[in-house]
Chains A and B, each alone.
Chain A
Amino acid sequence: MTDTVALDPNRHVPGLTRPGFRQTVHAEWIKFWSVRSTAWSVIAMLVLGAGLTTLICATNAEWLASSEADESPGSFITFGMTFAQVTAIVLGTLTITTEYGTGMIRATLAATPRRGQVLAAKAVVLVGTLFVAGTVTAFAGYLGGNVFLDREGIGLALSDDGVLRSMVGSGLYMAGLGLLAAAVGLLVRHTAAALSIVLALVFVVGTMVVLLPGAWGEWTSKLMPGNAGAGVATPVSFNPYLLDPWTGFAVFCAEVAAVLLVGHLAFRRRDA
C-alpha cells in the first residue's frame, strides 16, 4: 500500500497541543453541566440543605434556649445536610450510570481510551462541584438558621468550636458521598441499583447496625461510611457514638477510596 494517508493527528490544526488530562476534565465539565439533572440536583441540595436547616432552627430555637433542652444548637445548625446527602448521592450515581444507560460510555471511551484518565476527570468535576455546593449549602443554612437562634440568644459564631469546620466539612462529606455513589455506579452500571445500594448503606444499614450486640454494634456503627463521614459535617452530632470528626472522615475517605479502587479495576477490565 503506497498511497496511505500520512499519520499525523495534528495535520489539520497546526501547532495544536496534544490533548491530555486538562482536555479530559474540560470535556467532562461540559458533559456534566449540559444535562438538566446536574442543575436540578444542585438546586435541590441548596433548597433541602439550607431550607431544612433554617426551618428546623426556626421551629426549635425556643425549646433549645429553654432549660428543658437536651440537645445542642450545634446539632441543628447543619440539620438539613442529612437530607442534602441524597442529592449528592444522586449526582454521583448519575455521572456514571447515565453513560451506561444511554450507551454514551462508548463515545466517551472512543474519545479518551485511557479509562483511568476518564475516571479521574469525572472525579475532579464531581468532587469540585459537590465540595463547593455542599459548603455553600451548609453556609446558607447556617446564615438562615442562625437568625432564629440569635433571636433566642443562643446564636453560634463562625469562630465557635466546630462551626467553620462543619461548613467546610459538609462540602467534603458531600464530595466523598458523590464519589462513593459514582464508584458503586461503576460496579453495578445501573442507576436504580446503584442508588438503592448507596442510599440503603448510608441511611438504613448505617442506623441498623447499632442493633448488633455490644461493642460489635458500637464499632460497626462508628465505621459505617455514613456515620464515619458525617461527623465532620456538623459542629455537634445528634449521635453520641461517633469517631472524632477528622478521624471519622479519614476512615470514610479510606472506605470511599477502597470502593473506588475496585470500581476502577472493574472499569478497566470490562468491555464498554
Chain B
Amino acid sequence: MIEARGLTKKYGARTAVDGISFTVGPGRVTGFLGPNGAGKSTTMRMVLGLDRPTAGSVTVNGRHYAGSPAPLREVGALLEARALHPGRSARDHLRWLAASNAIPARRVDEVLDQVGLTDVAGQRVGRFSLGMGQRLGIAVALLGDPPVVVLDEPVNGLDPEGIRWVRRLARTLAEQGRTVFLSSHLMSEMALTADHLVVIGRGRVLADCTMSQFIAEHAASYVRLRSPQRTEVAGLLTREGLDVTAVDDELRVQGRDAAAVGELVGRGGLLLHELTLVSSSLEDAFMTLTASSVEYATRTETTAGAPR
C-alpha cells in the first residue's frame, strides 16, 4: 500500500507536484496517468525516497521508503530503463542489486528467465535495445519478490508482444495480492490494464476513482438525433425526464440508449432523420481532462528547458 498525503515538490519557483493525496491499494493495478510533465516521475521518485518532498509525505506499507531495512524486498521499482552502466552486463547489474539487499543469488537467474533475457545476460547492457533495457528494468523491480511494485512507463520502447507481456504481468502481480502502481501517459494503455486510476495534470490530482467510474463519468455516451421536428422532439424527451441539449441542428440525449429514445419518439408520432449512439473515447476524455496541463507542459519545455 502506498499513501501520499499533501505531497508537494517544488524546484525553485516551479511546482512539479502540488499537494497531492492518494492511496494505492493492494490486489489491484492502479494506473497513474497524466501527460508528460504532469509530475508522475517526480512523484514516483519521492515514493522511493530519491527526491525529498518540499511538503507532505508518502509512505509505503506504512513507513517511509528509506526506513525499510531491505527496500528491494518491499518495493520493486522500474524508474528509468537507462539507469544502468552501459559497460556492465545484465547479470552483474542484478547481482550487485541482489547483494545489496541480501537477496539470494538464485533470484538473479529466476528474474532473467522471467523477463526473457537469459540468453543475453552476459552481454553489456550498452548494446541492449530500448525494449531489452526495459525488460531488465522490470527484472530489477521483480528481483526482491516485493509486495509493492512501482513501474514508471513500463511499456515505453516495447514491441506489441512486450506490451502484452507487461499487461499480463501487471495483472498477475495484482492477482497475487500485490500493490501494483503503474504510470503511463497513454489512456488506452491504462484502460486495458488498470482497475483504479489516479489522473494527474499540472501536479494536481484530477481524478482518483475506479476505471469503471472514470468511464461512466468522463467517457459518457449520448444519442444523437436529427429531426425536421426538432422542437417537438426536444419537448417530448424533456417531458420524459431525459437530458437534452441542442447543438447546431442536432439534439444530444443522455440517459437512455438509442433504442429507447427511438421508441419514445416513435410513440409520440414524430419524424426522425437520424438516430446514432455516440460514445466519446477514453482518450478523448483524458485529453479534455488534462488539456490545461498539456498546454502548460508544452510551454515550459520551450521556454525553460526540461526541468528534471
Contacts and interface: CB of A to CB of B under 8 A. Distances in A.
B45 A106 contact: yes
Interface stretch (A67-75, A97-105, A126-134, A227-235): A97-105
A258 B110 CA distance: 44
Nearest to B137: A107
B24 to A, nearest CB: 10
B102 A271 contact: no
B60 to A, nearest CB: 9
A77 to B, nearest CB: 36
A110 B85 contact: no
Contacts of A17: 102
Given A5-B147, A5-B177, A113-B66, A98 B85 contact: yes
B195 interface: no
B102 A19 contact: yes
A9 B93 CA distance: 21
Given A23-B99, A35-B87, A271 B45 contact: yes
A81 B93 CA distance: 33
B209 interface: no
B97 A27 contact: yes
Contacts of B280: none
Contacts, number: 131
Interface residues of B, number: 51
B96 A13 contact: no
A34 B79 contact: no
Interface in B52-100: 52, 61-62, 65-66, 68-74, 77, 79-80, 82-89, 92-93, 95-97, 99-100
Nearest to A24: B100
B100 A23 contact: yes
B80 A106 contact: yes
A112 interface: yes
B34 interface: no
A29 B305 CA distance: 37
A1 interface: yes
Contact of A16 (B99, B102, B177): B102
Contacts of B48: 106, 110
B54 to A, nearest CB: 11
Main secondary structure of the interface of A (DSSP, over half): loop
B50 A271 contact: yes
A207 interface: no
A272 B45 CA distance: 9
Interface string A178-213: 000000000000000000000000000000000000
Contact of B103 (A4, A13, A98): A13
B74 A7 contact: yes
Contacts of A103: 80, 82-84
A3 B177 contact: yes
Q: Which of A26, A31, A107, A272 has the most CB of B within 10 A?
A: A107
Nearest to A18: B69
Given A34-B89, A102-B84, A103-B83, A9 B68 contact: yes
Contact of B100 (A5, A27, A272): A27
Contacts of A23: 99-102
Interface residues of A, number: 40
Interface string B215-245: 0000000000000000000000000000000
Contacts of A26: 99-100
A120 interface: no
A110 B71 contact: yes
Nearest to B61: A7
Nearest to B28: A3
Contacts of A4: 1, 25-26, 61
A18 to B, nearest CB: 5
Nearest to A110: B48
Contact of B27 (A3, A28, A113): A3
B140 A107 contact: yes
A154 to B, nearest CB: 45
Contact of B101 (A5, A35, A111, A114): A111
Nearest to B179: A5
A9 B79 CA distance: 21
B250 interface: no
A19 B77 CA distance: 19
A254 interface: no
B72 to A, nearest CB: 6
A106 B50 CA distance: 7
Given A5-B27, A9-B70, A10-B73, 9 more contacts: A4-B25, A18-B69, A27-B97, A27-B99, A31-B85, A104-B83, A107-B79, A109-B50, A113-B71
